[in-house]
Amino acid sequence: IIFNFLDKVTNVTNALVCKQWSQIALDVVWKEVDNLVQLFSLLKPIHEAEECEGQEFQSELPDANDWLRFEQYASRVRCLRFHWDRYNAEINCLLGYVSRTRTSLDILPNLHTLEWKYLTDDDMERCKLFFHRQLRHLTVTADWEHRPQPDFYTDLGARASHLHTLSLLMRQYPEELQEDRIIMLLRNLPELRKIMLPEFYFTSSLIEELSRAKNMGVMEFSHGVDEGCFEPRNMETFAPVLAEGAFPSLWDLSLVAKFHDLDRFFWSNFAPVNITTLHINTYEDHCQSEVHDFLVTLSQKCQLLSKLYIQLFHNEYPLSVLVPEIQLSYETIKPLLAFPNLVTFELLHKYPLRITLDEIEELASQWPSLENLVLNAQPLALDEDGFTLDLRALLPFARHCPRLWKLGLYMNAAEAEIPSIQLPIEPFRSLRVLSLGASQACNQGTVAAFLSWVCPPSCVLEVGDPRNEFGPIDDWILGKLRQRKLSWKAIEQLLPVFTQVRRTEQERSKALQEEVEDLRIRLMEKGHVKRSETSRVAGGSAETR
């Protein structure tokens, strides 16, 4: 256990102390590998060769004895990470020699986690070197225009059939979806428990196949490569046909579709109504009633749901001009109060949520179990008339939601609307993240003073950037967002100062109270002594008489 907390250099030294220490230290040193050159230099010295413009073995290729010696280290490797941008020179030549000279198909026999981020098709091919039956977790990240070749799915299903987690992070090309190959791969991975794919890969056919997976517990969107680069043409219809016994183990589901398709899906026979986490993305036009009706459906069908995330990325109307017909309101999301187990809700929309302070009070007072709430803190329509909340909106959640650890609201932190800290204000008890998104702050010092009173010292102010899924955003919107972000960053820097001042005041007040209490006790004791002496004197006089 101690060795696990030491750095690699220290554990290399520990391996030289004695035989007992050596085995333990080497297990820790080689447990996780993120440098293939360093790993395969255990076979033979490696240098950068001009002929192949990359890394290769310096003198001669490894022989059987070299591989036998390598096995004592290879069996210790549990996690391997390859990121092409961490290498100064090409290593495909080196991996080619490794492939040709190896004495066993399983180069790293106990490897259970493989992360492979590649740039070229050759890099992708080399990933297969490390496929074997003990592999449990695979993450493949494809940059630029590259994506796995068709035989990748075939080899993966044949050689790593006991995989538990599969994550494919790549660009989304509807014309090259390779849906049939992915479906065939899923049939060859019977133990798969978690899958992460680009969001538009979750087509009706793929959902139908995943519904038959007995161990599938998590179906997630994979993000991070190129969010928002692709038009959702292949998601115009979403109508999976489910059979009895669908999704026997599913608890976390991510879907991208139109609201009326989603509503029909959850009303269909054998729908996954026992899920506890649901992520919804939609890129299509919508109205308030569709969102409201969908929430009503979920509240009736998914009684176990505890976490709900809804992101609406429709961008055909002007992003900066409010369209009342599609602006969501408190009445739209009010069905949230009917969920018996919901503790997390996050909403993202291009227009601010229309909600008043009185409605915030109602929402907070009727949802005491709330743990995470983000009510569209990052809209793109930034006009002044879009604000309906100010810093007073924080107070109901502080009063009524003791377990709330994250809160996100779109507010206008104007000085005139900041509650006086002289009034009795109940601070948050568990808040760790205050998500401010595109909120506006006018007087940085006053805002920082107020937040230092209601937020715990460890609370982080979160100010995000606009999501790429909305498509191109006007420069003036980006400029205004940047300006507001700078204001909140300045407030974030002021917070520790105000927090320290407040802590000092509290300590001084506490010390003064203790001093007053001590003085009161001493005066009471002194008065008690005097009364006792008076009683004794009075008693003596009576006896004399």
Measured distance between the N- and C-terminal CA atoms of the chain, rounded to whole angstroms: 84
CA distance 187 to 181: 10
CA distance 398 to 447: 17
CA distance 307 to 343: 6
pLDDT number for residue 169: 86
SS3 48: strand
Got the DSSP string for 28-65?
A: HHTTEE--HHHHHTTTS-EEEETTTTEEEESSS---HH
Please name every residue paired with 317 in a beta bridge, in sequence order, or none if there are none.
Answer: none
Residues lower than pLDDT 70 in the chain: 1-23, 49-53, 88-89, 144-147, 171-177, 223-236, 315, 317-318, 415-417, 419-423, 468-469, 471, 506-507, 528-545
CB 189 within 8 A of CB 244: no
For the chain, the structural domain boundaries read 1-30, 32-46+61-172
pLDDT number for residue 271: 96
pLDDT number for residue 228: 46
Q: How many residues does the chain have?
A: 545
CA distance 405 to 393: 16
pLDDT number for residue 7: 60
SS3 177: coil
Query: Which tens digits make up the pLDDT trace of 7-34?
Result: 666 656 666 566 666 667 777 778 889 9
Residue 171 tokens read as 């660009």
The amino acid present at 137, given as its one-letter code, is H
Residue 76 tokens read as 């210790």
Give the contacts of 122 (CB within 8 A, at least 6 positions apart).
Answer: 92
SS3 494: helix
Residue 128 tokens read as 């297969």
CB 187 within 8 A of CB 214: no
pLDDT number for residue 224: 47
- In 354-473, at which residue ranges do the beta strands (DSSP E only) sit? 372-375, 406-408, 412-413, 433-435, 440-441, 460-462
Q: Within 366-474, where are the H helices? A: 394-400, 444-454
CA distance 342 to 359: 19
CA distance 259 to 474: 28
Provide the pairing of β-strand 137-142 with 440-441.
unpaired
Residue 336 tokens read as 């949230």
CB 81 within 8 A of CB 54: no
Smallest Cα–Cα separation from 385: which of 364, 415, 410?
410
Residue 509 vs residues 29, 424, 438: alpha-carbon distances, Å = 53, 16, 37
pLDDT number for residue 382: 85
Give the contacts of 61 (CB within 8 A, at least 6 positions apart).
Answer: 44, 97, 100, 101
pLDDT number for residue 390: 93
Got the DSSP string for 306-368?
A: -EEEEEE---SS-TTS--GGG--BHHHHGGGGG-SS--EEEEE-SS--B--HHHHHHHHHT-T
CB 217 within 8 A of CB 184: no
Residue 313 tokens read as 């990325």
Residue 506: CB atoms within 10 A of its CB come to 10
pLDDT number for residue 42: 87
Helical (H) or strand (E) element with 523: helix 475-544
Q: Tokens 């999501």 sit at which residue?
A: 467
CB 200 within 8 A of CB 174: yes
CB 262 within 8 A of CB 280: yes
Smallest Cα–Cα separation from 93: which of 155, 143, 48, 35?
48
CA distance 279 to 254: 4
CA atoms within 13 A on the CB side of 303: 1
Smallest Cα–Cα separation from 328: which of 343, 314, 308, 342?
314
CA distance 260 to 69: 62
